[in-house]
Amino acid sequence: MDILRILIDFLKIYISPMVANGIPVVVSKFIKGRPLDRGKYLSDGKRILGDGKTVEGTIFAILTGTLMGAIIGILNYYSLQYCFTGFLGSLGGILGDITKSFFKRRIGIERGGMLPLVDQLDFYLGSTLFIYLCPICAHPSLDVFLFGIIIIPLLHLSTNYIAFKLHLKSVPW
Ligand code: CTP
Ligand code: MG
């Protein structure tokens, strides 16, 4: 069935960036991370990134996402392609999230403030860009990518709501 093929292809490529995107919330509960921007401000008087983007969260995200990619690779006949896809997807995803925070600060949204759809799709678009720029990565077909555009915001909102209920996040988005 086509939808099953789309779902499997989607998971093989995007499970790593999805895990990478979720891990920092858990890490932040155990480690008080150091801000990536070292607490610095730009000339507009606002933080470069804010306290929501930490060194530890970023490192753990990339490591965990790459580990997921390695597992997917092993499950796919020891395919190195999925290992690279996991690494670049996680790196691109986390950089997408960081880029989003930079622009959120510039338009005056405080750390943790909501920016609908952008908050949900930042890592997805970042990971897709990086995966596409990598010639040896597994590339999603258009239907797989569009499936993600619909499913990611729904998944993101529901997992964040669960994280909020578990007291892992202070806001439900
Ligand atoms: N986090 C982190 N390092 C990252 C990304 C996230 O430590 N690179 C942790 C932070 O504790 C952050 C939480 O995960 O508060 C949730 O991530 P996110 O929603 O992306 O950050 P926000 O706090 O909403 O900050 P922003 O407004 O900048 O997106
Ligand atoms: Mg947020």
- Rounded CA-CA distance 113/5 in Å is 36
Kindly report, residue by residue over 60-102, the tens digit of the pLDDT: 999 999 999 999 999 999 999 999 999 999 999 999 999 999 9
- Rounded CA-CA distance 5/102 in Å is 36
Amino acid at 32: K
Does 58 contact ligand 1 (Cβ within 6 A)? yes
In this prediction, residue 173 carries a pLDDT of 86
pTM: 0.95
In this prediction, residue 75 carries a pLDDT of 97
Ligand 1: centre distance to CA 67 (Å): 21
Which among 142, 112, 128 has a CA at the least distance from the CA of 14?
A: 128
Burial of 86 per CB tally in 10 Å (0-12, 13-18, 19+): buried
pLDDT tens-digit profile, the chain (173 residues) = 699 999 999 999 999 999 999 999 999 999 999 999 999 999 999 999 999 999 999 999 999 999 999 999 999 999 999 999 999 999 999 999 999 999 999 999 999 999 999 999 999 999 999 999 999 999 999 999 999 999 999 999 999 999 999 999 888 98
Does 46 contact ligand 1 (Cβ within 6 A)? no
Structural tokens at position 112: 């943790």
Amino acid at 5: R
Which among 88, 56, 58, 55 has a CA at the least distance from the CA of 70?
A: 88
In this prediction, residue 81 carries a pLDDT of 97
Ligand 2: centre distance to CA 111 (Å): 7
Structural tokens at position 123: 């890592």
Ligand 2: centre distance to CA 114 (Å): 7
Segment (H or E) for 22: helix 2-30
In this prediction, residue 1 carries a pLDDT of 67
b/e map of 56-75 (b: 16 or more CB within 10 Å)? bbbebbbebbbbbbbebbee
